[in-house]
Each structure stands twice: as structure tokens, then as C-alpha cells.
Amino acid sequence: MAERTALRGLFPTEHRGIVLRPLGAEDAEEYAAGTRDPEVARFAHLPLPEYTPDTVRRIAAWEVPKGLDSGDLAVLSIVDADGGGFLGSLVLFDITEHQAEVGFWIAPGARGRGVAVRAVAAAASSARALGLTSLVARTAEDNRASQRTLAAAGFTRTGDAEETTAPSGRKAVTLRYRLDLTGPAGPDPA
């Protein structure tokens, strides 16, 4: 496997008009506002119950570099390649020698434009570069938008709905998805 510290060298990365880059202090206001959106609050299962701009700045200053350096966590901003406007967040976590889990949320004003599919495709490309063989994802059973995104990005649903513990620590009924990274990169989602 590639050295785990290689995470830092993978980002920023650009894919079809979006950029994945480490969450930064410049994202604090928009990230915090995005976490208050009802759909993000309902489906993102974020680890903290509330995010303020100060909380986000602390995460950007301490947790983001720590995760990139240890190679086990990448907390990323999804930004527009033309001007850098904040579009949402994508996280690679539970990174092992062979796989990582991906989670994402999109800011309300960026929804319906294929941002999530392109962000997940960019994450898959980075995971391949890291030498991982698969990406996995969990989504709430009633989160149809996330299910459509994962399918469009080439993920396959694996198994039936099951109760799991989300990153927030809460129980949730989720569906599991998997993307095999060992074959050809497959279609390039829009």
C-alpha cells in the first residue's frame, strides 16, 4: 500500500469543474451554515451535534491536518473550480490498507447540478491513487438523493437495510454500497 501520509499529497484534486481540497478556515461560515440545512441535519450524521464557524476553524486547524498526516481521515471541501465557491463536504474515513468509507453532503444552493457525483468520482480517483481496492458508503434507507448519487458514481448496493451506528453515534437504518476500484475506472460521471 502507498504510504498513509500520501493522503496530504492527493489533495487538492480537480474533476469536471469541482475541486476536492482539505477543509480550511476560509470554509468556516459556509460549512457551518450548510450543517444547519434540514436535509444535511437529517442525513449527514455528522459527528458533532452543532457546528459554528469557530468549531469549523478549529477542525480545519487541528483535525484536518492530523487526519491527513496519519493517513486515516480526509475531511474535504467541495468547491467550484471556477472561483472556489463552497459547494459541500466529502469525507474519506475508516481508511484501511484496502478500502475507505466515503460520506458527503451538498450545500442547498449546489444541489441538482451533479456536484455530488463528480465529487465522489474525484474521491474514487484519489482512492485509486492511494492503492485502495474499494470504496464503501452507507446511506439512510430513505435518502433517495444519496442512493441516486452512489449509483450514478458506479457503486453497487450490497445487502439489505440494517441498523448501524452512524458517525454521529446515533443508530440509523442504512443501506451499504461498494465501488470496486481494481478494474477500469469505468464511465466518467457528469
Is the link from the previous residue into 12 a cis peptide, with omega within 30 of 0?
yes
The x, y and z cell numbers of residue 55, run together, are 468549531
pLDDT of 3 above 70: no
pLDDT on residue 185: 61
Residue with more model confidence, 2 or 31: 31
CATH number at residue 97: 3.40.630.30
In-domain check, residue 167: no
Q: Higher confidence at residue 135 or residue 170?
A: 135
pLDDT, residue 83, reads 87
Whether the Cβ atoms of residue 30 and residue 89 lie closer than 8 Å to each other: no
Does residue 146 sit within a domain?
Answer: no
The pLDDT of residue 9: 86
> For the segment 28-81, what is each residue's pLDDT rounded down to a tens digit?
999 999 999 999 988 988 999 899 999 999 999 999 999 999 999 999 999 999
Residue 183 belongs to a domain: no
- DSSP letter string over 106-150? E-GGGTTSSHHHHHHHHHHHHHHHHT-SEEEEEEETT-HHHHHHH
- Residue-number span of the structural domain to which 125 is assigned: 6-133
Q: Is residue 10 part of a domain?
A: yes
Q: Answer whether residue 97 is part of any domain.
A: yes
pLDDT at 80: 96
Q: Could you tell me which residues come within 8 angstroms of residue 96 by beta carbon, excluding any fewer than 6 positions away?
A: none
124 contacts 134 by C-beta, under 8 angstroms: no
Q: Residue 60 carries which DSSP code?
A: I
Q: 165 pLDDT exceeds 90?
A: no
The one-letter amino acid at 174: T
* Comparison of pLDDT for 143 and 167, the residue scoring more: 143
**pLDDT tens figures, 135-156:** 999 999 999 999 999 999 999 9
| pLDDT over 60 at 5, yes or no | no
Q: Would strands 13-15 and 156-165 be described as parallel, antiparallel, or unpaired? A: unpaired
Q: In the structure grid, which three cell numbers stand for residue 94, read together?
A: 475508516
Asked if the structure places residue 30 within a domain, the reply is yes
Residue-averaged pLDDT of the chain: 91
Farthest CA pair distance, the chain: 42
| pLDDT > 60? residue 1 | no
Q: State pLDDT tens for residues 67-120.
A: 999 999 999 999 999 987 999 999 999 999 999 999 999 999 999 999 999 999
Displacement of CA 63 from its chain's centroid (Å):
15
pLDDT at site 164? 85
Residue 73 in contact with residue 89, Cβ under 8 Å?
Answer: no
The whole-angstrom separation of Cα 63 and Cα 68 is: 9
- Is residue 106 included in any domain, yes or no? yes
How many domains are there within the chain?
1
Judge whether 65 lies within some domain.
yes
* Burial (CB count <10 Å: 0-12, 13-18, 19+), residue 49: exposed
The answer to whether the predicted template modeling score (pTM) of the entire model surpasses 0.85 is yes
**Is there a contact between 35 and 51 (Cβ–Cβ < 8 Å)?**
yes
